[in-house]
């Protein structure tokens, strides 16, 4: 048997207030939205980061917190139901509403957020891509916290491995596995946030759609890399040629990101 690091068992319930448990999972979503809102407020209050066209203001970001929360929850749940376990939920339709049992899709949450951003931007009379850039700059914060929550639960563990940092996860048997949740927290959260932070400081917000494009490509690439270490969902397994659902759903995201980046490059060339 290879050396296995002991999994740091953490109670998924942070604290219970009477009969109501407060779980790390819920705290991750709430913290991600609140910290993201604070960072978005910081961005829109810095005129030097933006170009001449109208940008979101502080009150718009306040509304965005509510719109994004609805988009993330509805889109994330619907995406999981449709892409990852449709047969189960077709037989158990009531379970669709049991969000506290887990089962959220990032790609579905992203689609829900896109709809929320579109509706809010149209109501506010600002460019959809302007508001989308703000959201894209802050999303890695929520991704980082969400992956840490996956690790604490634990769920979405990695494939079997004999690397020195492999762990035996509760519920996954005695086989040592990659802590893929931490890989995703690092790549989708920390690394992607730093890339976007540098891009913003270099003036990416002055070109509508550029931050969104960088995020889409960055997340898609990071997710595909992590999927090579993550155990596929048991109800789906490998689809074909070793591909997973997470990989396939990331490909159109990368394609959209490339289109947005090329679009902003052409705009810059036209203005030069």
**Cα–Cα distance for residue pair 200/42, rounded to 1 Å:** 12
Q: Determine whether the annotation assigns residue 23 to a binding site.
A: no
The three-state (H, E, C) secondary structure of 167-182, written as one string: ECCCCCCCCCECCHHH
**Token pair 């005695």 in the structure block, residue:** 174
Instruction: Copy the structure tokens of residue 264.
Output: 């902003």
3-class SS of residue 101: helix
* Backbone torsion region of residue 209, taken as left when φ is above 0, otherwise alpha when ψ lies between -120 and 50, otherwise beta: left
Rounded to 10 degrees, the C-alpha dihedral 124/60/31/184 comes to 50
Give Cα 29 to chain centroid, integer Å: 11
Binding-site members are: 147
């Amino acid at each position: 048997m290879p050396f296995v690091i002991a999994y740091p068992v953490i109670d998924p319930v942070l604290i219970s207030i009477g009969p109501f448990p407060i779980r790390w999972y819920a705290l991750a979503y709430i913290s991600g939205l609140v910290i993201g809102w604070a960072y978005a407020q910081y961005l829109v209050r810095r005129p030097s980061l933006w170009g001449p066209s109208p940008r979101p203001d502080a009150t718009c970001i306040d509304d965005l917190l509510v719109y994004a929360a609805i988009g993330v929850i509805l889109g994330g749940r619907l995406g999981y139901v449709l892409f990852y376990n449709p047969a189960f939920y077709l037989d158990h339709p009531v379970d669709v509403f049991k969000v506290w049992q887990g089962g959220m899709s990032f790609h579905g949450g992203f689609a829900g957020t896109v709809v929320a951003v579109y509706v809010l931007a149209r109501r506010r009379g600002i460019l959809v891509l302007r508001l989308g850039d703000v959201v894209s700059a802050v999303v890695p914060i929520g991704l980082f916290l969400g992956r840490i929550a996956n690790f604490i639960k634990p769920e979405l563990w990695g494939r079997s491995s004999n690397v020195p940092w492999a762990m035996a996860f509760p519920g996954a048997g005695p086989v040592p596995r990659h802590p893929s949740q931490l890989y995703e927290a690092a790549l989708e959260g920390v690394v992607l946030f730093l890339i976007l932070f540098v891009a913003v400081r270099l003036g990416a917000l002055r070109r509508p759609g550029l931050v969104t494009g960088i995020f889409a490509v960055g997340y898609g690439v990071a997710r595909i890399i992590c999927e090579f270490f993550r155990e596929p969902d048991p109800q789906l397994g490998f689809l074909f040629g070793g591909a997973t659902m997470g990989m396939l759903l990331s490909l159109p995201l990368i394609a959209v990101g490339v289109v947005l980046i090329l679009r902003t490059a052409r705009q810059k060339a036209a203005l030069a």
